[in-house]
Structure 1
Amino acid sequence: MFKKMIKAVVLSAALVAGGMGTLAATASASGQAAAQSIELRFGNGHAPRYHHGPRHGGRHFAPNFCDPRHALGKAQSMGIRRAHVVRNAPRRVAVAGFQRGQQVRVVFANQRGCPVIGYR
C-alpha cells in the first residue's frame, strides 16, 4: 500500500513538472504574460461533510409507541395503496387501504417498531 502511494506521488510530480514546462514554453512563445496557477489535490475528490443524526453517530431516540405515520409507511411498504389510519387506540393502530383491488385492513401493535398483529 505504501509503494502504491509513493508511485502515485512520483507520477503526480512528474505530470506537474511536465505541465509546468509546457506552460512556460507556451507563455514564452506567445510573448505575452499569462496568469498561471497550479492546484494539487489529494484524496478522493469529495469535500468532508459533517452529518449529525442517527446514521452518523448522533443521538436518536426511538419512541416506545407506534406512531401513526410509521404505521402508514409500513402499510405502504407492504403494498397497500391509499392507506389511511382508521383507528388509533391505546393498544393498536389500524390502517385500511386497497391491495390488488380488494379492501384490506392491517392492525399494528402500539409498540416500538409497529409489529403486525392482524391482517384481513
Structure 2
Amino acid sequence: MEDVVRKVSITSSLMALVGLGAITLAAFPAQADNLQLQLGKHGPRLKLMEDCDPAYDDCEGPRRDDRRDRRQRGCTEDRALDKADRMGIRRARIESVGRREITVRGRQGGDRVRVTFGTERGCPILDRE
C-alpha cells in the first residue's frame, strides 16, 4: 500500500511541475527579435539583445549596407590566395602587394609559377609566369 501511495505522490508532483512550466511559458509571448544565436570558438551561445553592450557587441546584427560593401570591395590578399588555389596553384604565398597589384607565387604541376592579380573586384589576372 505504501508503494502505491508513493507512486501517486511522485506522479502528482511531476504533473504539478509540468503544469507550472506550461503556465509560465504561456504567460510570456515569444519574441524572437530579442534573441541572438552566436556561434563562436567557445560553442553556441544564446543571448538576449537587452543584455547587449554596444561597446563590445554588435547589437543590431549584420546590416544590409555592410554586406553590399563587402561584395564591392576589390581584391585582397586572401582573395588572391583563394583564386590561386582554385587555379590549381599549390603552396601559394604572397610575394608582393602594391596599390594596383598582388603577386602570388607557388607550384603548379611541379613548376614554379608567379601570378599577378589586379586589386579590382574579381581579382583579374594581369600576368602569369
| TM-score between both structures, scaled by the size of structure 1 | 0.52
Q: Secondary structure at the residue paired with 1:31? A: helix
After superposition, the Cα gap between the structure-2 partners of 1:110 and 1:49, relative to the gap in structure 1 and judged at 3 Å, is: same
**Cα shift at 1:28:** 7.8
Q: C-alpha distance in 1, partners of 2:7/2:73?
A: 74
**Cα shift at 1:95:** 0.4
Report which of the two has the higher share of strand. Answer: 2
Q: C-alpha distance in 2, partners of 1:72/1:66?
A: 10
Please list the CA deviations of residues 60-94 of structure 1 after superposition, one character each: whole Å capped at 9, or x if unmatched: 32364422222112212322111111122332211
After superposition, the Cα gap between the structure-2 partners of 1:74 and 1:28, relative to the gap in structure 1 and judged at 3 Å, is: farther
**1:110 paired to 2:126:** no
Larger-gyration structure (1/2) = 1
Q: How many residues align?
A: 87
Q: Secondary structure at the residue paired with 2:123? A: coil
**1:73 paired to 2:82:** yes
Q: C-alpha distance in 2, partners of 1:83/1:105?
A: 9
Give identity over the alignment, percent.
Answer: 29
Partner of 1:59: 66
Q: RMSD in angstroms over aligned alpha carbons? A: 3.4
Report which of the two has the higher share of helix. Answer: 2
* Structure 2, unpaired ranges of 5+: 23-31, 39-60
After superposition, the Cα gap between the structure-2 partners of 1:78 and 1:28, relative to the gap in structure 1 and judged at 3 Å, is: farther
**Which of these residues, 1, 6, 9, is aligned with residue 32 of structure 1?**
9
Partner of 2:101: 92
Higher relative contact order (CA closer than 8 Å, sequence separation 6+): 1
* Structure 1, unpaired ranges of 5+: 1-26, 41-46
